[in-house]
Amino acid sequence: MGVDCSDSARRAVVFARDLAVATDAELVLAHVIPWSPYSFNTPEENEVRHRRRQEELAAAREQVLEPAAAIVGDTVAFSTVARHGDRAQLLCSLAREHDATHIAVGRTGESRLRRALFGSVPSELTQISGVPVTVVP
54-107-92-30 Cα dihedral, nearest 10 degrees: 40
- What is the model's pLDDT at position 3? 84
pTM of the complete model: 0.84
What is the DSSP-derived secondary structure letter of residue 73?
T
Whether 50 is in a domain gets the answer yes
Full domain range(s) for residue 16: 7-136
| 10-residue averages of pLDDT along the chain (137 residues) | 85 96 96 75 72 90 95 96 92 96 83 55 92 93
Q: What's the maximum distance between 2 C-alpha atoms anywhere in the chain?
A: 51
Position 56 in a domain: yes
- The pLDDT value recorded for residue 117 is 47
- 35 occurs within a structural domain: yes
Residue 77 falls inside a structural domain: yes
Residue 1 lies in a domain: no
Residue 69 lies in a domain: yes
* Closest-CA residue to 91 (of 35, 30, 132): 30
In a domain, 51, yes or no: yes
CATH at residue 97: 3.40.50.620
* CA distances, 51 to each of 40, 48, 62, 108 (Å): 17, 5, 17, 28
Q: For the chain, what is the domain count? A: 1
In a domain, 12, yes or no: yes
